[in-house]
Amino acid sequence: MSFVSTSATSWFNGTPHLRVYGVGADSKLKEYCWDTDHWYRGGLTDQFSVESGSAVTSWQDAAGIHLRVYAQGLDGKIKEYCWDKDRWYVGGLSDRFTIADTPAAVSWLDGGHQVHIRVYARGDDGRIKEYCWDRDGWYVGGLSDQFATLGGLAATAWLNGPILHIRVYALALDTKVIEYCWDGNGWHPGGFSKQELSTIGSPAATSWAPGHVRVYTAGTNTLLQEDCWDQDAWYSGALSQQFTSVGLPAVTSWLQGTQAHLRVYTLGMDQRIHEHCWDGTHWYEGAFQAQVGG
């Protein structure tokens, strides 16, 4: 396996399923899959060439699992690659907008089982763009053009009853990681701000239940940092300072009963992508590894 950037998604249907996406040294998208007891190469691998790293989101409904992968194409335009049943195809967002680097993506199902997708990217004017799918077409969302960014976008979302909550994390012009929040009635800056270090690469974010958020950053001190929100305050998580990383964090999570499971993917000093796993008691090294530029 050879990656230069990663993104990850997961779902649970009696057993956990994981998908990790990256861009190889050959500029082609790679897909690696875990469904039972081993990693294997997925069908998206080597089908498409892109300029940037990738973002992925997924949802599960009565028809099965749906995957959406987003990236900046070689022509600078956003690309959308879709899996709904038995093949990958190019989605309707492709080529509609020019973006500057790696996007971020989230999705959720409402009470009527309708999927909603949000894609966030830095435009060529240096401002955050929001692209929205709610039923039958893509449109530009309200976050667009409100905030300037250096890039490094991450996003997560959850429903608390009927109220939608979205969190977008981005590198501000001073290189601090800033949080932008949607809680049902407009965008506003959030309480999270990475004040004590400048990050290298993009942050990563996930949530698995209302009011539970994890943000991962790799700092100039090369140590991975985990910041946690559990309803009322930010605090440093147990993963912090345990592992060395020189950027490229990705994260995914799922809920199994009442237990949250997390997988974090980071670039180590050995130029390999490492998997760090939380299943309720402690962090440990997972089975996934990928050589960067190999």
pLDDT at 185 over 70: yes
Q: Which residues have a Cβ under 8 Å from the Cβ of 50 and sit 6 or more positions away?
A: 23, 27, 28, 29, 71, 72, 73, 74, 79
Instruction: Please check the confidence at residue 15 and state whether its pLDDT lies above 90.
Output: yes
All structural domains of the chain, each given as residue ranges with its CATH number in brackets, are: 6-291 (2.120.10.70)
On whether the CB atoms of residues 266 and 243 are closer than 8 A, the answer is yes
Is it the case that residue 215 has pLDDT exceeding 90?
A: yes
The least confident of 98-102, 152-156, 190-194, 255-259 is 190-194
Neighbours of 85 (CB within 10 A): 8
Residue 12 pLDDT grade (very low, low, confident, very high; cuts 50, 70, 90):
very high
Range 92-111 average pLDDT = 96
Is 202 buried (19+), middle (13-18) or exposed (0-12) by CB count in 10 A?
buried
pLDDT at residue 212 tops 60: yes
Could you identify the residue written with the tokens 């992968």?
Answer: 69
Residue 293, pLDDT > 70, answer no
Residue 242: predicted pLDDT: 80
pLDDT above 60 (res 292): no
Does the pLDDT of residue 197 top 60, yes or no?
Answer: no
Using 50, 70 and 90 to split pLDDT, how confident is the model at 2? very low
Where does the pLDDT of residue 202 fall: very low under 50, low under 70, confident under 90, or very high at 90 and above?
Answer: confident
Q: Which residues of 124-160 are buried (b: 16+ CB within 10 A; e: fewer)?
A: eeebbbbbbbeeeebeebebbeebebbbbbbbbbbee
The pLDDT, as a whole number, for residue 28 is 93
**For a pLDDT cut of 70, what percent of the chain falls above it?**
93
Q: Mean per-residue pLDDT for 137-150? A: 96
Q: What's the CA dihedral at 88, 89, 91, 94 to 10 degrees? A: 110
| Model pTM score | 0.95
- Residue-wise pLDDT tens digits, 239-265: 987 877 766 789 999 999 999 999 999
Q: Where is pLDDT greater, at 3 or 284?
A: 284
Residue 174 has pLDDT above 90, yes or no: no
- Dist CA 97 CA 162 (whole Å): 31
* Euclidean distance between the first and the last CA atom of the chain, given in angstroms as a whole number: 7
Quick one: average pLDDT of 52-76?
Answer: 95
How much is the pLDDT for 4? 54
Rounded Cα distance between 37 and 39, Å, is: 7
- The CB-based long-range contact list for 183-190 (8 Å cut-off, 24+ gap) reads 186/142, 187/142, 187/143, 187/146
pLDDT, residue 245, reads 72
